[in-house]
Amino acid sequence: MQRIFRQISRYYFCSLNNIENTKKKPFYQDINVNSQISNMRLDKYLKEHYGIPWTSLQICLRKKEIFVKDVQDLSKHKNPDYILKEGDIIRIPFSFVEKKEQIQNSQKQEQNEIKLDQSQIDKFKQMIIYENKNIIILNKANGVSCQGGQDVSLNLVTMGQQYLINQTNQKYLVAHRLDKVTSGVLMVPKNQQIAKIYGNLFNDKSNINKYYIALVRNSPKNFKAMINAPIEYSQSKQRAIVSNIIDENSKSAHTHYQVLAQFKMEDKNLAAKIINSEHDYIKDWGDFSLLKIRIQEGRKHQIRVHLSEISKTPIVGDARYFDKNHQESLFQYNKDQSIFLHCYQTFINNQELCNRLSKNSSSQIACNNLGEVQVEEGVLKIQASFPQHFNNLFELGFKDQPEQLDKLKQMIKDITL
């Protein structure tokens, strides 16, 4: 009898424990919206932070399993495009929280299994102009792809992830890109809040000016001009094409340029002259021209196709865009046949970004052999030093004219378009 009583008691208390454990597990979790996620769409936030697929999100919203409570007017919102406000409360099923934890644990396990490649980490470090907890500013080397892909063994995402692997809550996030063959200024957000700011800026483009320096074959028709020609990108040809119309495939593209100097080969020597004004410009004088360029939109391969097809001045070394003599040894110092296109300056008019870099209205943040970063009255100014093949070009062309070379460098820095 006692034995039967003990068995019944054991079963009873076990059942009570199971019920208690079940009670402890909530059906829903509330998420308080803070300043970091405010102004995001509800569906985008849930997709990015909890990996909820669009179809599952729609079903949960219809069943009122997911909604946002507005603490100001106590109304409930269940539209996927609802813009979150600071103070809102998002209610989601606890199953999504568990799923997120499973994904995070899986990612941590994968991260622990990553074999660090010190050579990639070192190469990434060699490109850093400036870094803080929010952002990395790079002087990207040419030949390094911004993202992975087919036949891409070396890319910044992989290198950046390796570099940041031991930095808690910091990720390599893509805000904008440069072509693999292009060097220069590249900004890398390290958290979603900064990525969102940059994403909005680069989508809007009205508060960003990006300046490039290019050496082109021949001389453009005009000393200073704006190329207005829509372009589309052909996947089959793997290059951009100039279009006559703007439609679903082609997009508007505006490229501004000014000639800064001309170069001419004379008995295997390179002669150079600065172009101070339109009066100094003689179209047929040189074999090569140095241009400062500003793009409005930033379409894929915009500068390369505009200069090649419209201006008939392909960038030196750019085989894809019809520099027919790209395989020749243009100058003996350019041994790796690097393309002569460099993103030299990026100016961003945004007070919030400036405040995150400096408490002073005007201050120099960084200055080293890779470039400069400074804040000036709400404008973030970034400048990336030239790669070696550009420096070799300048030194050879102006080897007997050091004062002229200094003047050219100052022009390159100061001229705006």
Q: How confident is the model over 390-409, as pLDDT tens digits?
A: 999 999 999 989 999 999 99
SS3 73: coil
Q: Six-digit token pair at 88? A: 């809102």
Q: What does the pLDDT look like over 39-76, one tens digit per residue?
A: 788 887 887 777 777 777 777 777 777 888 877 766 67
SS3 32: strand
Residue 21: CA count within 13 A, CB half-sphere? 6
Q: What percent of the chain has pLDDT over 90?
A: 40
**DSSP 8-class letter at 158:** H
- CA-to-CA separations, 294 to 154, 220, 252, in angstroms, rounded: 28, 16, 15
Residue bearing tokens 């507005």: 70
Higher pLDDT, 238 or 289: 289
Q: What percent of the chain has pLDDT over 70?
A: 82
Domains of the chain: 25-111 (3.30.70.1450), 205-338+387-414 (3.30.2350)
- Concatenating the DSSP letter of every residue in 227-247 gives EE--EEEETTTTEEEE-SS-S
pLDDT above 80 for 371: yes
Amino acid 99: pLDDT: 65
Q: Which residues contact 215 (CB under 8 A, 6 or more apart)?
A: 263, 288, 289, 290, 291, 315, 316, 340, 390, 393
Q: What is the mean pLDDT of the chain?
A: 83
What's the Rg (C-alpha) of the chain?
A: 28
pLDDT above 60 for 354: yes
Amino acid 44: pLDDT: 79
Q: What does the pLDDT look like over 110-149, one tens digit per residue?
A: 555 556 688 888 999 999 999 998 899 999 999 899 887 6
State the CB neighbour count (10 A cutoff) for residue 228: 13
